[in-house]
Structure 1
């Protein structure tokens, strides 16, 4: 029996998942934790992690360590994504994490993050052709899948937190700010030539903004388990209607929307805008949600390494 722990230092939230792997390679999640550490907050165009965000994240990692310290002899893999990848003071952050928490952090490249997204969903999605979209706090990963094989892959260094900060989408939203934000995103997507090959593809959504969009609608539809998202889908009309509903509310009112975590209310408009923009660009009619992602991709890689038949 092996115990595997994945610590994921994200740009908006940090997460920890613990898995138990039996002798046959069967993997069961036994514990998970999440903290809205908001590491990318205040990075701005200078791309420096702030002291407050670093301290907040280290506190979260210390809580995670207490949570998995009771697990027998865990193999701990710690990864960091866009915020740390982009930070000019990356070395300072990694040194502090190593000193205060005892974790050696692997900083994923954008390509690696997108690849692990693909690896985390490919066995969960029962389709041949689709576009994987992971909207994080400081990056967007896109993977074009055709015939269950990844064909094109990219990581774009913008996400929910920096879009919200840059275009003032946190509280009251003005038409000019929303227009400029969407124009900015369109210009970025137009520079990805292979996206045209994804026209009319269904989009498989990952990330915190995706989970929030799904939970809001599952609450509205009175699902008993609003957190069971794998395979759940929404059509374009429902997604646009949800976004319009959120746009009409200020920050205070958004905090009271069922399914929307209060600590995500200030970045949800910026977090969903890339999806809204891409739905229009590709004329995609349906979005499917997956509970896979980077952590699940790393688990799959680990199983493939030690249990070849899987």
Structure 2
């Protein structure tokens, strides 16, 4: 029996899964963990990882080790936008290595988008659409036509840094949302291939987008609000929920059914990449995927083992 542990250090949260790998090329998930580490918190324009988030993150990684050590797995550890852009990246990764023994691969934006594509296609088999993975400090956009990856990009904004840059965490000044939206749309308009995706659905990854699905499923009285893989929402429903929460105080957002309290300060900024993308490409609906970078890594690992 062989096992694979994937440690995924994102800008907002750290996740870990342990998969039991079978000889027939399939796998079974046996452990799943998540910690809200917010490594990107207060990086600012200087792009410096701060002491408290770093210490919090190392604590989470040590906890993950207690959960996967008994399986003696192959460990693949990856990290994304916040660490990728941090000026003290090497110091932080050396500190992680010293404290935990874990060596992280820092994914480029292109690599992150590629693994997103592999993960989505492993389970949803999308023929056409735009994958949007909204993280804490970046978004990845991947155009799919005829089930193929036609174009991909990583843009340097996400739920955490948008919230900090445009002051969207607490009781929001509505004009700040408009300024943030202009910034996002300008970035999208620099992507000439987006215009060819008009009228196609958006396939959603990332914590803020999962929160949107849970809010919608709670609103409709669904019993299992966390089972969102393949779940669809219309453009109208997405905009209805966003327009509802954009006028709430932070305290009110903390009480919204289906929304994690810890995301109340970044849910508006976390949904802005989606709502502006849907408007721009006239997307009729969204489709949620729970398969992304981690599942892409699993698919790659299994493929390499069977080559």
TM range (shorter): over 0.9
3-state DSSP of counterpart to 1:69: helix
Match of 1:29 in 2: 29
CA shift at 1:70, angstroms?
2.1
Partner of 1:124: 123
- Give, in angstroms, the shift of residue 26 of structure 1: 1.7
1:214 match: 213
Unaligned runs of 5+ in 1: none
1:149 aligns with 2:148: yes
Aligned to 1:5: 5
Which residue pairs with 1:93 in the alignment? 92
Query: 2 CA distance for matches of 1:138 and 1:306?
Result: 33
TM-score, L = length of structure 2 = 0.98
CA distance, structure 2, for counterparts of residue 48 and residue 198 of structure 1: 36
Alpha-carbon shift at residue 193 of structure 1 (Å): 1.2
Aligned to 1:138: 137
Which residue of structure 2 lines up, in the alignment, with residue 42 of structure 1? 42
Report deviation, 1:133.
Answer: 0.5
Rounded Cα–Cα distance in structure 2 between residues aligned with 1:113 and 1:149: 16
What are the equivalent positions in structure 2 for 1:145-294 lying under 5 Å apart? Answer: 145-294=144-293
TM-score by length of 1: 0.97
CA contact (8 A) 2:126 2:144 kept: no
SS at match of 1:123: helix
In the aligned structure 1, how far is the partner of 2:13 from the partner of 2:94? 20
For the 8 Å contact 2:122–2:299, the answer to whether it is kept is no
- Aligned equivalents of 2:177 and 2:43: distance in 1? 21
Cα deviation for residue 245 of structure 1 reads: 1.3
Please state how far the C-alpha of 1:248 moved relative to its aligned partner. Answer: 2.1
For the 8 Å contact 2:123–2:291, the answer to whether it is kept is yes
* Cα displacement (A) at 1:224: 1.7
Aligned residues: 307
How far did residue 69 of structure 1 move? 1.5
CA-based RMSD: 0.9
Give, in angstroms, the shift of residue 126 of structure 1: 3.9
Runs of 4+ in 1 over 4 A off after TM superposition: none
Provide the rounded CA distance (Å) in 2 between the counterparts of 1:28 and 1:127. Answer: 23
Query: Matches of 2:251 and 2:94 in 1, distance apart?
Result: 38
Give CA deviations for 1:74-119 in whole Å, capped at 9, x if unaligned: 1011000000001000001100100001100000000000000000
